[in-house]
Structure formats: C-alpha cells, structure tokens
Structure 1
Amino acid sequence: MRLLRALVTLTAVPALLATALPASGSDGPAGATEEKPRVVAEERVGPRLTDLTIESPALAERAKVRLLTPDGWDERGPDDRWPVLYLLHGGFEPETYKTWTRESDIEATRALRDVLVVMPEGGKLGFYSDWWNHGEGGPPAWETFHLDETRPLLERDYGAGRKRAVAGLSMGGFGALSYAARRPGMFTAAAGFSGPVHLLHPRMANIWPTLEEGWGGSLDALWGDPDTQCAVWRAHDPHHLAPRLRGTDVFLSAGDGRPGPLDPDSPYDPAEADLRVMNKSLTARLRHLSVPVTTHFYTGTHHPAYGTRELHRALPLLLKNLDTPTGR
C-alpha cells in the first residue's frame, strides 16, 4: 500500500488535470453539463427543519440537504434573502445530512435564527472533492454538487443570499478550508474543527491507513497517488492554497489527543494529536501571509462534543462576517 511516501519532498507537476482550481471568485460551475440539478422532494421534519432531495448530475444519484431555516423564512417573498452558513459533516457518519442536528444543539442556538444553515450530504468519505477517478473524472463530484448545483438552487428558490460562511468538523473542517481556498471570495469566513488541513504534512501518513481501513480499500481514486499526482493533492490542500485565503477570516481548532473535560474516560487519541500539528502548521502559514486567523488549541480528543463547543466558539467570527444582528 502506498502511504503518502516522501511527502515533504513532493514537487508539483505542470498540470492540475481534471481537478484544476476554479477561477478566483467564481460562483459558477467549472464546466457546463447538459443535465440540470433539481429538487425532487421537500419535507418538513421539524419546526425549522426542511430536508431537500436533489437529483444531482454531479453525483449521478439523489442526495439530501438539510436546512435549518431562519425566522420569517416560511413567509418569505420572492426577493427575501438571508445570509448562509454551510455546516459540513465528518467522515463515516450515518445519514450525513443529519449529523449536525443529531450531534449538536444548533436548533436551540439563538444566534442561528437570523441565518439559513445548510447541511448537505457529503458521502461516507467524500472529502468535499470532485474525485480524480484515475484521471477519468466523473462521479462522485462533491464540490460540484455542493457549490455549483445546490448553492444556485438555494439562491433561486430557498432564500439563500450571497453572504456565506462555512464551517465543519473533521473531514468537514478540511472541506470548509478547502472550499474557501478553492473558491476565494465565495465565503467571507471559514472555520475548521479538527480537520486535516495540511494534506501533504508527514503526519497525514499516520491517518491515511485508518481512512482506507474505514473505506474498505484503496483511496487512490480520490486524488491519486501523492507522488505521481502531487498536483491534484496540492489543488485541494488548504496549506498549499493558503494565499488564496487572503480576504477570508479563518478559525482553526484541534485537541492534543489527551482526554479532556468533554471526554474524561476516553483513551489517548494519537490521530487528534496529528490533526493538531496540521492545524498549527496551517496557522503558521496563514500568519506568515497576514491572513487573519483565530485559533483554539485545547486538551481533548476527536470526540464530536468538541465540534459543538468549537462551533459555538467560532460563531461570533462567522456571524460577524455575515453581518447578522447576533454577530455584531
């Protein structure tokens, strides 16, 4: 098995193949498709919760998106718009679009009553990427589904405005920073909680085998081999793309792997300790580039309770950038 060998000596190849970066500030799809995404089902599942089922050409299947709607949303007119917070889930979750409402208290969070919170399905281990698929491209194309299919549908029919922030836990923490860097100008703020935000860091070699074990085999189809497809990896790596985060407020946090106040009976978590190193590495690079970054490094493991706590810690920064009353 190839396990990210010689990461620190990788050099980029000239082309980025099918995963080339979108144009800076692009709100549109990288390439036109004949098929159009469409909402095929809409279900009210709670006082402020609506689940959408979207027929997605990018995924070649249907996928779910959960909305936590703001006050007044049910009575919205055709011109009413709300700022949007995208919340991205971690890997290996059941019914991934339900993760944040299942594992956190966001429905009861008063500060989120002035924004439209979007929680899209992202696959068992989709990594918020259009998969390389050995150079062939094609589904699953999660970035395209989220940013080029779902986003325009929400802006057209569901009151989503053009002010956006993004946050996520674990794999979703990577997704938040990767999306913000790959689409500069699309998100005013990005927050990552315990995310692998430096893909080409040597510590990633400690984490990758666990991901492949959970996946059930090789993940070469995601970005390819890190030696031969280094450019594909770099095209998604927040650390490599850090200059593209200028103009974005960033929040990063991670635990040190030791049991903390929210998981006192947990064993030591070496993976969380590795993620902390990656987040500190990105923090140093952002500060060198004068990109505004707020951090919180703490005692704790990869327990999901820390994701809820860190979201609350990051909310003032996220909402300030959305100009909501609760963020001022």
Structure 2
Amino acid sequence: MSLRVVVALLVAAMALVGGAGNALAWGPPPNEAPTFRQDRINGYGMGDPLVRTWAAQGVDRTKAPTLVFLDGLRATDDVSGWERDSNVAYLSKRGYNVVMPVGGQSSFYADWNAPSGGRSTPYRWESVLTGSLPAYLSSRGFFNRTLIGLSMSGAQAVMIANNNRDEYARVGGWCTSR
C-alpha cells in the first residue's frame, strides 16, 4: 500500500471521528455485529488486556488490511476511545480488519520500569504491541497491519512500527490540541 493510500485512509478515519460522536454510531452493538470478537491476551504481568476486533466484511480477512487503533491519554478499561467517540469500526464494513486494544491510560504504550499512579504492576504495553498482540492477530488471520496512534500514542506507534517492520507494514499518528 502506498503512502498516498495510507494518508488517504487516515484522513478518512479522522473524518469518521468528526468530534464527539456516539459510541457505536456505525450500527449494531459489537456483541451483535457479525464479525465482532473480544478476547484477552497476554499482558506480560500487567493483567490480560482486552482486544476488540471487527473482521473485514465481504472480503477474505486474511487479505484485508488490518488497522490497529491505539487510544489517547484518556484511555479507559472498558472500550477504546476510538470506539466510544467515533465510528471507525465502520471500516470493517468497507473491507478493513479493525483492532482496538483496550486500556493504556496515560501509559504512552510503553514498558515501564515500575508501577505508577496507584497501579500494582508496571505497564507493559510495548511488549503487548510487539509480542502477544501480533501473535493474536496472526491467529485470527489479520495480516498487512497498520498501527495508528491517537494523541499520546502517536509517537509510540511510530517507534514501535519502525522497530517492528515485520509486524507492522505502515504507521500513522494523529495528534490534536485545543
């Protein structure tokens, strides 16, 4: 996929965000969506993070591009901000595999040396994004991956994708300020 296509895709994804939207604005609740799946993966000691996925509809998911959306600073432990505040899951209806890891609030998606902010274990998000998440996605037939970071995760997405080109073919970041 060319850089031009990746940029166009990011612009389209941001157009879908369009400010504060309704959760799941694209259609049925995830548990009623035909290709939705939610699983826990190895968190390398920080608990087992939740991953929510929507397989591409109408195409072979093993050949469809996979978009992995990382949350911003205000990530929560129930759903991704991408899911809560936008309708990017709609991209599954357009032939893309959509992946949203859940959690990571204020973590910068890095491996931390020690617990912080009242946590009992340190964050291990970089290990998840370079280890258990790619393994999980491969087991689901989600290849041809793009890592997309929002706000605080933008820089980390670029670093992780650059250092793990065998797992992530492309990267995109989106930062906002108010």
Structure 1-normalised TM-score? 0.39
- Partner of 2:75, secondary structure, is coil
Aligned AA for 2:100?
M
Look up the match of 1:71: 57
| Structure 1, unpaired ranges of 5+ | 1-43, 195-253, 255-271, 273-300, 302-328
Look up the match of 1:152: 135
Of 17, 33, 53 in structure 1, the residue corresponding to residue 40 of structure 2 is 53
* Cα drift, residue 49 of structure 1: 2.5
Asked if 2 retains the 8 angstrom alpha-carbon contact of 1:58 and 1:141, the reply is: yes
Separation in structure 1 between the aligned mates of residue 79 and residue 141 of structure 2, nearest angstrom: 19
- Partner of 1:66, secondary structure, is strand
Q: Which has the higher contact order (CA 8 A, sep 6+)?
A: 2
Question: Structure 1 residue 169 and structure 2 residue 140: aligned?
Answer: no
Separation in structure 1 between the aligned mates of residue 72 and residue 78 of structure 2, nearest angstrom: 8
* Cα drift, residue 53 of structure 1: 2.0
Asked if 2 retains the 8 angstrom alpha-carbon contact of 1:170 and 1:192, the reply is: yes
Deviations 1:80-100 (A, max 9, x none): 453311111001232364321
- Partner of 2:100, secondary structure, is strand
The within-5 A match list for 1:166-205 is 166-194=147-175
The within-5 A match list for 1:74-113 is 80-95=62-77, 97-109=79-91, 113=94
Look up the match of 2:111: 130
Identical positions, percent: 26
- Partner of 2:45, secondary structure, is coil
- Partner of 2:171, secondary structure, is strand
Cα distance 1:83–1:109, how it changes in 2: closer, same or farther (>3 A)? closer
Separation in structure 2 between the aligned mates of residue 60 and residue 123 of structure 1, nearest angstrom: 10
Aligned AA for 1:183?
N
Cα distance 1:185–1:152, how it changes in 2: closer, same or farther (>3 A)? closer
Looking at secondary structure, tell me which structure has more helix per residue: 1
The within-5 A match list for 1:1-328 is 45-47=31-33, 48-54=35-41, 56-72=42-58, 80-95=62-77, 97-109=79-91, 113-133=94-114, 139-156=122-139, 158-161=140-143, 163-194=144-175, 254=176, 272=177, 301=178
Cα distance 1:185–1:149, how it changes in 2: closer, same or farther (>3 A)? closer
Number of residue pairs aligned between Structure 1 and Structure 2? 143
Deviations 1:286-322 (A, max 9, x none): xxxxxxxxxxxxxxx2xxxxxxxxxxxxxxxxxxxxx
Cα distance 1:139–1:186, how it changes in 2: closer, same or farther (>3 A)? same
Separation in structure 1 between the aligned mates of residue 75 and residue 94 of structure 2, nearest angstrom: 26
* Cα drift, residue 144 of structure 1: 1.0
Asked if 2 retains the 8 angstrom alpha-carbon contact of 1:89 and 1:97, the reply is: no
* RMSD of aligned residue pairs (Cα, Å): 2.7
- Partner of 1:107, secondary structure, is helix
- Partner of 1:160, secondary structure, is coil
- Partner of 1:45, secondary structure, is helix
Asked if 2 retains the 8 angstrom alpha-carbon contact of 1:167 and 1:191, the reply is: yes
Aligned AA for 2:129?
H
Aligned AA for 2:125?
W
Separation in structure 2 between the aligned mates of residue 172 and residue 182 of structure 1, nearest angstrom: 15
Aligned AA for 2:64?
W
* Cα drift, residue 185 of structure 1: 4.7
